[in-house]
């Protein structure tokens, strides 16, 4: 099994979408990319921790490739809006791919270059090494499944 950590706005929707894809064996929401090793939703919302809301995916590379996951990443959000997805505004809602190794970094940068042509060079997605991942509070896990609207 391998891990992918992706920031694409509020983590509830992406967790549900990725959870339906064959090859994704587990989803978890959390915070990544900040300056503190441990944080909370309340702290992240201040913007001072520098964390992004993320979905952490455990996947079977025999069933789905990292490249395919990144393709879904770009389908599931608007990568051209800086620090925003729909009505959610702030650095915690930024578009960012957190890589775990050099292969993921290379694939991510290559996909951005490819997608950027489609979006006329307006992609704001950052690519960064995983830093200070913290699992989100239990009430955020599978939120949309537990709270049907």
Active site residue 45: no
Distance CA 137, CA 117 (A): 38
Catalytic residue (one of 7, 8, 10, 29): 10
Q: Quickly tell me which residue has 């509070």 as its tokens.
A: 137
Q: What are phi and psi of 64, to 5 degrees?
A: -150, 135
Q: Phi and psi dihedrals of 53, rounded to 5?
A: -70, 130
- In angstroms, the CA 5 to CA 55 distance is 6
Q: Give me the active site residues, please.
A: 10
């Amino acid at each position: 099994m391998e891990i992918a950590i992706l920031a694409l706005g509020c983590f509830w929707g992406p967790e549900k979408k990725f959870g339906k894809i064959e090859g994704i064996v587990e989803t978890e929401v959390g915070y990544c990319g900040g300056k503190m090793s441990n944080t909370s939703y309340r702290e992240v919302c201040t913007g001072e921790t520098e964390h992004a809301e993320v979905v952490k995916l455990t996947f079977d590379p025999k069933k789905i490739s990292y490249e395919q996951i990144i393709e879904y990443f770009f389908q599931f959000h608007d990568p051209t809006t800086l620090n925003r997805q729909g009505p959610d505004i702030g650095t915690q809602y930024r578009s960012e791919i957190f890589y775990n190794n050099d292969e993921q970094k290379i694939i991510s940068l290559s996909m951005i270059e490819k997608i950027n042509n489609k979006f006329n060079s307006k992609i704001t997605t950052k690519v960064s090494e995983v830093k200070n991942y913290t699992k989100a509070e239990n009430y955020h896990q599978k939120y949309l499944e537990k709270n049907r609207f």
